[in-house]
Structure 1
Amino acid sequence: MVSERIGLYIDKKGISYYAFENSINASRGAISKAVKENKSIGSSMLEQIMAVYTDLNPVWLLTGQGEMFVGNEEMLLNKNIETYQLKTDNAMEMQQIPLYDIEAVAGLVPLFQDSKSQEPIDHISIPHLPKCDGAVYVTGDSMYPLLKSGDIVLYKEIHDLKNEIFWGEMYLLSIDMSGEEYITVKYIQKSEQHGFVRLVSQNKHHQDKDVELGKIKALALVKASIRINAMH
């Protein structure tokens, strides 16, 4: 079954089902359930998988013939870690940073309000990082190519929005959009409008947007990002 081979591929890559589903814009559990229950996966989803994971041999995926990876070579996994430190940051020798599922905790607001009661899906240990409160998977392409869907961002919570914003830095934030929570990663710059901030994307296809400071319900400074690459 195709779903079984996708499960083998995910295991070989060493990534979680959550990260895999995020990277192909699939709903939570869509792939893991299909693999566990040996169910078929739609053609549009298969096309998305092959578009994102170009090292996956489509012949092997669809027929089981040949090798799992394109080029008939074993894969090496490499983690790219980018840090975004302030001059005032003190690097920590080692820390256990909890990795949270935003969907499971129902958004950043409840996560930041009571993180101790939330169950992380894993912990991340990277030496010599500044103090971080947690980590989450990124979705969307607003910070592409710096960040892409499926990357992990590690953050430090900001509680005093009026006085603790460092202009021009990258933030993970929750915005109230007509009663709905909108979670994104953006640069925050000063706005020409009083009481507003300007949200700026790395991706030039996204326009800058001024939002009321009061609409920001949760804010965290991005301290590092992790991207898992597969190399032949």
Structure 2
Amino acid sequence: MLNTKKERFHEVMERLELTDYRVYTDVPEITKNMMVKLRNGETQDLSSRILEPFCRYYSQVNPSYILTGEGDMLKEEPHVSEVTEVKSLSNLKSKEVKIDEQMVNLYDFEASAGLRSLLDNNHANIIGPIHIPNLPKCDGAIHIVGDSMYPMLKSGDIVLYKEMPVDMQHLFYGEMYLLSYIIEGDAYVVVKYINKSPQGEPYVTLVSQNPHHADVDIDFRTVNALALVKATIRINCMM
């Protein structure tokens, strides 16, 4: 076991593949000067001025490990053994390469500043990794809320997604997407099927699974983030 908080802090950074530059650019409360002094020894040990904002931002880190050396470096991760159902959703005609086993980060979407921010800052707001077998490559996972895709998806289910370009030419119509769009200054984040709109381009139709939710046509130019839903996970215990 490493002897100092400083050593354990740098060990955690190495585990997360974080550079000093990444930390002081990611975390507003941590400055370049603070990281340089810690690295070159001017600061003898880790202070709460660095540790507290670091653990808030990289929420998968177990602060007790850095403080005492006890416990796991990262918070407990959910395993497939806790999963009642993993369902692949992609119906793409082109054959996708499936990965025998991959680790996908589960993100705390409520703690992020929206879908665009979540996709751009993939080291932040991580709850923990999920190990998933036999699926195409995924970029991340989040819990969903609401009932618009019920019964296929229930509030609290996890969707695994792959980020896509915000470009109509890259849309796979009829597939399920996680997307965000802005109308009159209000931001919306939804999980919907995207179909062609009877209005023609640049409009698309957002379709729910739940028949109590009406279809909605939006101008695709209002979309600022887009991810293709690859699979869902339904769990039977609290993480």
Q: Same fold (TM over 0.5)?
A: yes
Alignment deviations for residues 143-191 of structure 1 (CA, whole Å, 9 cap, x no partner): 0000010000000001142211100000011111322221110000000
Q: CA RMSD in A?
A: 1.7
Is residue 2:83 matched to residue 1:81? no
Give the TM-score of the pair, scaled to structure 1: 0.63
Q: Work out whether 1:148 is the aligned partner of 2:154.
A: yes
Shift of 1:77: 6.1
Q: Which residue of 2 aligns with 1:164?
A: 170
Q: Tell me, yes or no, if the aligned pair for 1:83 and 1:129 is still in contact at 8 Å.
A: yes
Choose 1 or 2 for highest CA Rg: 2
Paired position in structure 2 for 1:44: none
Aligned equivalents of 1:105, 1:179: Cα separation in 2: 18
CA distance in 1, matches of 2:194, 2:160: 17
CA–CA distance in structure 1, aligned partners of residues 234 and 83 of structure 2: 8
Structure 2 equivalent of residue 200 of structure 1: 207
Query: Aligned letter for 1:220?
Result: A
Query: In structure 2, how many angstroms separate the alpha carbons of the residues matched to 1:168 and 1:152?
Result: 20
Taking the aligned partners of 1:222 and 1:213, their CA distance within structure 2 comes to 18
SS of match in other structure, 1:96:
strand
Distance (Å, rounded) in 2 between the aligned partners of 1:218 and 1:107: 9
1:182 equivalent in alignment to 2:188: yes
2:118 alignment partner, SS class: helix
- 1:119: how far off? 3.6
Q: Percent identity?
A: 50
Structure 1 residues 81, 158: CA separation in 2 closer, same or farther (over 3 Å shift)? same
CA drift at 1:112? 1.5
CA distance in 1, matches of 2:157, 2:126: 17
Counterpart of 1:97, as a letter, is V
Letter of the 2:173 counterpart:
W
Question: Structure 2 unaligned runs (5+)?
Answer: 1-80
Amino acid at match of 1:82: K
